[in-house]
Amino acid sequence: MNTELEEEIPESDDLYERLSLTIDRGQEPLRIDKFLMSRIEGATRNKIQQAIEHDMVLVNEKPVKSNYKIKPGDKLVVFDSHSPESSDIIPQPIALEIVYEDDDLFVINKPPGLVVHPGSGNPDGTVLNAVAWHLQQHCPNFDPEAVPRFGMVHRIDKNTSGLLVLAKSAKAMSNLAKQFFDHTVHRRYVALVWGNFDTDGGTVIAHVGRHLRFRKLFTAYPEGDHGKDAITHFKVLERFNYVTMVECRLETGRTHQIRVHMQHIGHPVFNDDFYGGDRIVKGTVYTKYKQFVDNCFQICPRHALHARELGFTHPVTGEPMMFDAPLPEDMQQLIDKWRRYSQFKNEIN
């Protein structure tokens, strides 16, 4: 099993952690920036003031100024990101498939093999490097100082294809981050997984967190003793005897959530070299079948997972937005090949 990751991965595909707290009854009036400096480890006044300016600090669900004085009963929410600052991103002319764009946001269809943001082992050549170039060339009024991390609020794995939304303003970024946290964003994936299912659908509820021994991998903790809560709803789309095409709808967005949850229920994603899908899991291992599966691995040389649908409320207009990205060529060819194989097996049986 390959245990070297392509990049540093945060604990969540939703790239913002949220600190929530309620001000105690005995709290004296105090500027919110000073209060947060005393409560958040390693925080500087400059960083906190920047977060406040970018509407990443909310009091009673509304943005405030740095000179706001907290009072007993106030409910504070602070968004904190794992990803690199905009100033660390070098613009690079990398092609992007832009599905939609307006003054506040844009949606891209990421190809497989492209890392979302720089990290260990991938200092450049990422989606964010491409985004920085696009904004530099086509959005001269974009201010990277006002929109941290070029508006990235969520991610998908390097070898997962599909839809991503990025914000182009601080207001849009704050609103989208909140939608991801509130689990109101619609995310539907299509995957080819090993094995057949006894039912036409179901729900996997198991915490997802880092493996206790192999820290670069993630695993499921059904008892909830480690990791973070994670819920995946799945539905069978088509059965091919030894593999099944399913759709997975995320209720939470943990790192590798679908891949870990599918492995947890005995149906690893096809050709997933991290979680056991890169070998024959179902079917008799004989020469012709093994050759067929090896050919399938070559057709789709990555885990067969695609972020097909993305839906959210427009952060400025309030309009419902829904996007759909068709299966990429490698996955479509893979599924067609399994479909033909399944039909042939059914005919001779």
CB atoms within 10 A of CB 164: 22
Burial label for 63, CB within 10 Å (0-12, 13-18, 19+), is middle
Cα gap 139→96, rounded to integer Å = 15
CB 269 within 8 A of CB 192: yes
Check if 336 is active-site.
Answer: no
Residue 271 CB partners (closer than 8 Å, separation 6+):
277, 278, 296, 297, 300, 301, 302, 303, 304
**C-beta separation of 34 from 127 below 8 A:** no
Q: Given the residues 33, 55, 74, 157, select the one marked as catalytic.
A: 157
DSSP code, position 343: H
CA 103 to chain centroid: 23
126, two tokens: 């990422």
Q: Catalytic residue numbers?
A: 157
